[in-house]
C-alpha cells in the first residue's frame, strides 16, 4: 500500500481487516503538509445534488469515521457543527440536493431568507438566498484523523513506515534508497504523486492544483464565528466556490475557495499564500464584522483533480496486480472510509469497479459534474 493519506490509510485498514498482510508506506509521513490529506479540517456533508451515490457514501463514511474515533479514544476529531448551504431561490443544484437528501433519509431543514438572517446574522447574504441546513454534518480534523486511521491500522497489524518508491515492476517495488519490497498486489493511493509515478498511464488525467486556505481571528470574546453559532457553510452564490468553517479549537474562521488553482508539483511547490486580498474581499462581503480581522494562519495545500470530479479506483491497464485509488478532487476526504471499503472489496474479489471510477472515463479535458 503506497500512500498514507486518507484514501491509502483507509484502504490499508480495510484490507487488513479482510485478512490481508499489509505494508503501508508514505514518502513524507501520514497527514504531512504536502499532501491533499494534510491541514487542519475538512467538511463532511451529505448534499451532492443528484449524485445519490456520493450522498450514500458520505452517510456510510461518517458512521465509519465516528466508529474509528471511538476506537482510538478521540471522538473530538469530528465536530458536529452542522452544514449550511446557501443559494439563490429556485437554484437547480439546491433543488436536486433536497430531492436526494429526502430520498436517502438525511435529516435537513429548509430555510427561507428571513430564517437565514435570524439564525445566522453573522453572515451577510443576498436577499433572494435560501438555505439547506444539515444538522448532523460537520467538520473532520483532517491531519489528526488520518494519523488516527494509521494508528488503528498499525494496532490491527499493518506494517507502516516512511519511504519513497519507484513505480512497481512485476511483484516488486523499490524504494528510492534501494530496498526491495515484494507483494502480490500493489495499491497506489499517492494522491498528487500518481501522475508523477505513472506519467504515461495517468499524466494529466489527474492534476495537482494549488489551493489556499486562510484563518481569520474573531474579536476577543466574540463567539459568533464558533460553534454552535457558526456552522460549516458553502456559498453557492460565489462563482469561486467559497466556503467557510467555524472557529474550531481556537484557530480562527477558515475561508477558502473550491475554484481550481494552477497546476503544481507537490514536491516542490512554494507554500507561501498569494490570494489574501481575494479572501479579505470575501470577508468584507459576507462577514463584515471581520473586515479588519487579523490573519492568524494560512496554508497552501492542493487538490488532485480528475476531469469529472469522480474518484479513480481501478487497475493499471497493463498490470492486473497494480491498483489505483486517487483523484479526491477536493471533495474526497470525507469519503475515504468508503473508498477504502470499496477498493478493498474490488481487490479481494477481482471485480471491475463502476465505470465512473474507471481510468478509461478520466479525460485530460475538464468536464466537472461532481460538486
Domains in the chain: boundaries: 1-67+139-206+306-371
d(CA 227, CA 250): 11
Query: Whole-prediction pTM value?
Result: 0.97
The cell numbers describing 356, all together, are 465512473
Q: Are 30 and 8 in contact (CB under 8 A)?
A: no
d(CA 171, CA 150): 24
Cβ neighbour number for residue 76 with a 10 Å cutoff: 10
Coil vs helix vs strand at 65: helix
Q: Are 24 and 9 in contact (CB under 8 A)?
A: yes
Q: Are 165 and 64 in contact (CB under 8 A)?
A: no
The cell numbers describing 99, all together, are 430531492
Residue among 38, 19, 7 nearest 149 (CA): 7
d(CA 5, CA 191): 8
Q: Are 226 and 252 in contact (CB under 8 A)?
A: no
Check whether the bond before 228 is cis (ω within 30° of 0). Answer: yes
DSSP string, 241-310: -EEEE---TTS-EEEEE-S---B--TTT-------HHHHHHHHHHH-GGGTTPPEEEEEEEEEEE-SSS-
At residue 366, the pLDDT reads 85
Q: Are 356 and 57 in contact (CB under 8 A)?
A: no
d(CA 156, CA 141): 22
At residue 96, the pLDDT reads 97
So what CATH class is 1-67+139-206+306-371?
Answer: alpha beta
- Phi/psi of residue 83, nearest 5 degrees: -130, 125
CA dihedral 271, 276, 277, 282 (to 10 degrees): 130
The cell numbers describing 248, all together, are 474550531
At residue 367, the pLDDT reads 86
At residue 128, the pLDDT reads 94
pLDDT below 50 — which residues of the chain?
none
Amino acid at each position: 500500500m503506497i500512500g498514507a493519506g486518507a484514501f491509502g490509510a483507509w484502504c490499508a485498514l480495510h484490507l487488513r481487516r479482510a485478512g490481508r498482510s499489509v505494508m503501508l508506506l508514505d514518502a513524507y509521513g501520514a497527514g504531512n503538509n504536502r499532501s491533499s490529506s494534510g491541514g487542519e479540517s475538512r467538511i463532511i456533508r451529505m448534499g451532492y445534488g443528484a449524485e445519490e451515490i456520493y450522498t450514500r457514501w458520505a452517510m456510510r463514511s461518517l458512521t465509519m469515521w465516528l466508529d474509528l474515533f471511538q476506537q482510538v479514544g478521540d471522538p473530538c476529531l469530528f465536530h458536529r457543527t452542522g452544514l449550511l448551504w446557501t443559494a439563490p431561490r429556485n437554484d437547480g443544484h439546491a433543488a436536486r440536493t433536497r430531492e436526494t437528501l429526502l430520498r436517502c433519509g438525511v435529516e435537513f431543514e429548509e430555510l427561507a431568507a428571513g430564517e437565514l438572517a435570524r439564525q445566522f446574522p453573522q453572515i451577510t447574504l443576498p436577499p433572494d438566498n435560501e438555505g439547506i441546513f444539515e444538522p448532523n454534518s460537520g467538520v473532520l480534523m483532517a491531519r489528526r484523523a488520518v494519523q488516527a486511521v494509521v494508528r488503528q491500522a498499525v494496532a490491527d497489524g499493518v506494517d507502516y513506515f516512511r519511504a519513497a518508491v519507484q513505480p512497481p515492476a512485476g511483484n516488486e517495488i523499490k524504494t528510492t534508497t534501494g530496498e526491495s519490497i515484494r507483494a502480490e498486489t500493489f495499491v497506489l493511493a499517492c494522491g498528487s504523486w500518481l501522475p508523477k509515478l505513472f506519467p504515461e498511464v495517468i499524466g494529466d488525467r489527474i492534476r495537482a492544483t494549488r489551493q489556499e486556505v486562510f484563518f481569520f481571528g474573531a474579536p476577543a470574546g466574540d463567539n459568533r464565528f464558533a460553534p454552535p453559532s457558526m456552522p460549516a457553510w458553502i456559498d453557492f452564490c460565489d462563482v469561486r466556490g467559497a466556503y467557510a468553517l467555524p472557529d474550531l479549537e481556537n484557530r480562527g474562521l477558515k475561508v477558502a475557495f473550491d475554484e481550481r488553482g494552477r497546476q503544481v508539483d507537490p514536491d516542490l511547490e512554494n507554500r507561501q499564500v498569494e490570494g489574501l486580498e481575494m479572501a479579505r474581499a470575501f470577508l468584507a462581503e459576507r462577514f463584515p464584522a471581520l473586515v479588519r480581522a487579523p490573519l492568524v494562519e494560512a496554508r497552501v495545500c492542493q487538490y488532485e483533480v480528475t476531469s469529472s470530479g469522480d474518484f479513480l479506483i481501478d487497475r493499471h491497464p497493463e498490470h492486473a496486480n497494480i491498483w489505483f485509488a486517487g483523484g479526491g478532487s477536493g471533495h474526497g476526504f470525507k469519503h475515504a472510509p468508503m473508498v477504502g471499503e470499496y477498493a478493498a472489496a474490488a481487490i479481494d474479489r477481482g471485480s471491475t469497479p463502476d465505470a465512473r471510477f474507471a481510468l478509461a472515463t478520466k479525460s485530460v479535458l475538464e468536464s466537472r459534474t461532481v460538486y
